A and B are shown apart, each in its own frame.
Chain A
Amino acid sequence: MVDSLRPKIGVYICHCGINIGSVVDVPAVVEYASKLPGVAVSREYTYMCSDPGQNLVKEDIEKEGLNRVIVASCSPRMHEPTFRKTLKDAGLNPYYLEMANIREQCSWVHEDHAEATEKAKKLVEAAVAKALLLEALEEKEVDVIPSCLVIGAGIAGIQAALDIADAGFKVYVVEKTPSVGGHMAQLDKTFPTLDCSACILTPKMVDVANHPNIELMTYSQLEEISGYVGNFKAKIRKKARYVDFDRCTGCGVCAENCRLAGRIPNEFDELIGNRGAIYLPFPQAVPAKYTIDPERCLQLSKGKCGKEGPACVAACGPGCIDFEQQDEIVEIECGTVIVATGYDVFPMEKKPEYGWAENDNVLTGLEFERLVSASGPTGGKPILGRDKKGEGGYEPKKVAFIHCVGSRDKSVGNEYCSRVCCMYLAKQAHLIRDKLPDAEITVFYMDVRAFGKGFEEFYDRVRREGVRYVRGNPSEIFKKSADPEDHTLIVKVEDTLTGTPLEYESDLVVLGVGLEPRRDIREIIDLFKLSQSTDGFFLEAHPKLRPVDTASDGVFLAGCCQGPKDIPDTVAQAKGAASSALILMAYGKVKVEAQVSVVNPDECRGCGFCVEVCPFTAIELVDENRMGNIVQVAKVNEALCKGCGSCAAACLSGAIQPKSFKDEQILPQIAVLGVKP
């Protein structure tokens, strides 16, 4: 039986191999700790987190009757769960653990051994001071709603949704655009195997739409999310398509008859192809339902379309077009969330020296994909400079590809490597070689990073096909002459291997644009309170060990929203996110925060400051009978409280306190750390 009134503290100082021991004088810290008040056992061990290390603690709890445990080792963010479990296994309440971070915040950051040792002593002493006042907390579990919300239906979202749905759980997929598929659907071939992107993706797109466990909401947006892991409530806006979703057969007669047919740049074709005001973004779109663009449609934006009224209405056999249609708000409940919102390509406006805006034969990689795609505006023929009717044009004779556009470039704020550009440019060079065997193809590169499975081999093959690689980062791209018939572009570059300045002439330049966080990433950050890493992509919970988790429990990441990656990596991560979500849903229960706030109703004055500051509306004022008088006092809803403790800092009487971080537990730490060594 644990005597919790009289603290008997065990202090364990970890050497962490030589990570701690080589800087901090561990025996000196052990010695120091052994003399602190309440300390019964003070020991050291090479690796406290190892089995023998943990057993040491367990044995002492059993034999010595320890009732508080201090582990001085790495960050509690790393091993607090490990040692909590150790305590639990030994029959001690897991919240009787306190950790002193003497690795990340001591041995790894200080060089002077004496100073580091002194600091380690203080950190251990502060932990002991707090441990004296630790309380046993109860861990509660709540049910997990067996459904998952997937945001984004690119390949990452599709794969995650399919995996979860196949495991037998309900999935809601929300996609902003009219069709699923994402960026992968825009690609022509995939590197290095040259599979046709659409051929491998389309079946999955159809599956996601038809799966009995999946509720697909395209042209929809998440508006609100509340709740907590296991119990989220989401509000989704299904934007009006102005087309009856159920009756539309996808025949396309409406689009053919649209007065603006072929006159509006199509986002799916990266604006190099056109669509009408009523449109299907691409032939294989799923769902195959038409959508009216409310900003461009004459009837919707101007209130009038032609003399005879909207041509689409007249053409549509089943009479699906409904200009009165309103957005619909759908509310759903789910236990887990997967964020798979993808990326945007580097905006060329940030690099005007490459002349992308002025020259229609300077294309981004993604524009090039549409140009050579069989479903693209030219039917896959690499023809440039066609007129409005899609006639005329020319085939390029000299093609230049440029690496690292908007990646590895501090001048545009992107220090990172986008990981896919080297290989997609190699693939595109190959495609041009395939389609235009006589073209001269030159690739300007900084480095070629062919690190993946089959990448180096592919890069080798492309070079053997007569693609010339020149090492150099172009400074400028401009038109050679003002003559509209002359399409020649000059790529100004220095061949850094020979040190020769070049003015390379070409009539098609393809820019290997990098991947950036989505321009609208803020929307998701605001909804879920996710963090960003310095590159702007979503920050995972741990860079190595929790790459699909976020700091928000129950919210997982998949695909390029977490960082640039190619298709196989995206699929792998999506499967990882799906499995993480499935763990919660398959077990069906999740532990809720035990370190919640608690009110002392005798001290509460009912001012409601805590109610105002609580970001989770977890506190309310309730009637309390105080010796016959009815007064109002605060009350915490433990399922909603996340233990941030903002309430405690707002409370004037100290009546509300977060467990494990109470004033009475923090003040002793201040008392120890405040005093000079």
Chain B
Amino acid sequence: MSEEFEPNIVAFLCNWCSYAGADLAGTSRTHYLPNVKIIRVMCSGRVNPLFLVNALQQGADGVLISGCHPGDCHYLEGNFFARRRFMLMRKLLEHVGVDPARVNMSWVSASEGAKFKDVVDEVVTKVKEVGPMDQFRRRQINW
């Protein structure tokens, strides 16, 4: 490849902690890699693990789910459910040969703008190493 592989990562961020943390990273002008594109959900507990499968199918090279630290969920316990779901979903994807580096999860609080940057940069680096996700990417058909 002549051009360096630039991974495309879809992130699901909870509104109260991680999305606010990402906003804080912005307010503090913390520069990070543009490969991560954020979808806002109200709670990490909202993220249906099948969204991951769908994102990988659509062409994402990696995914990131981020929520409040355990115990700090704005909705009391949504992140606990999320944690269980994504521990398991990651194992399932691993079993079909999807590199676990593509499935990432983090706890980023509203005050952790700097951590959000670190998480993004680390995820991008990790996914870059494992290369493009082309195992069951949906082929776009132009009718």
Q: Chain A residues in contact with chain B, CB under 8 A?
A: 75-78, 101, 103-106, 108-112, 115-116, 118-119, 122-123, 126, 525-526, 529, 531-534, 539, 551-552, 595, 613, 615-616, 642-646, 648-650, 658, 661, 663, 666-667, 669-671, 673-677
Contact = CB atoms under 8 A, between A and B. Distances in A.
A675 B58 contact: yes
Interface in B101-143: 109-112, 117, 140
Given A667-B54, A670-B58, A674-B55, A525 B39 contact: no
B27 to A, nearest CB: 6
Contacts of A115: 34
Given A104-B26, A105-B22, A531-B17, A673 B60 contact: yes
B72 to A, nearest CB: 6
Contact of A539 (B27, B32, B110): B110
A531 B65 CA distance: 19
B98 interface: no
B46 interface: yes
A119 B46 contact: no
A646 B27 contact: no
Given A646-B81, A674-B10, A675-B59, A77 B23 contact: yes
Interface string B59-86: 1100000001001111111100110010
A451 B51 CA distance: 52
Contacts of A116: 34
B8 A676 contact: yes
Interface of B: 8, 10, 15-17, 19-20, 22-23, 25-27, 29-32, 34, 37-43, 45-49, 51, 54-60, 68, 71-78, 81-82, 85, 109-112, 117, 140
A533 B111 contact: yes
Nearest to B37: A673
A534 B112 contact: yes
Contacts of A539: 109-111
Given A644-B43, A658-B46, 16 more contacts: A103-B26, A105-B26, A109-B26, A110-B31, A110-B32, A111-B31, A533-B111, A645-B45, A646-B75, A649-B49, A661-B46, A673-B8, A674-B58, A675-B8, A675-B59, A675-B140
Contacts of B75: 529, 615-616, 642, 644, 646
B46 to A, nearest CB: 3
Contact of A76 (B40, B41, B78, B117): B40
14 contacts: A78-B23, A105-B38, A118-B34, A126-B37, A525-B72, A533-B111, A615-B75, A642-B75, A644-B78, A645-B45, A666-B51, A669-B39, A670-B10, A675-B8
A671 B60 CA distance: 9
B10 A109 contact: no
A77 B112 contact: no
Return the 7 tightest CB-CB contacts between A and B, nearest first: A674-B58, A104-B26, A645-B46, A646-B45, A644-B75, A615-B76, A644-B43
Contacts of B111: 531-534, 539
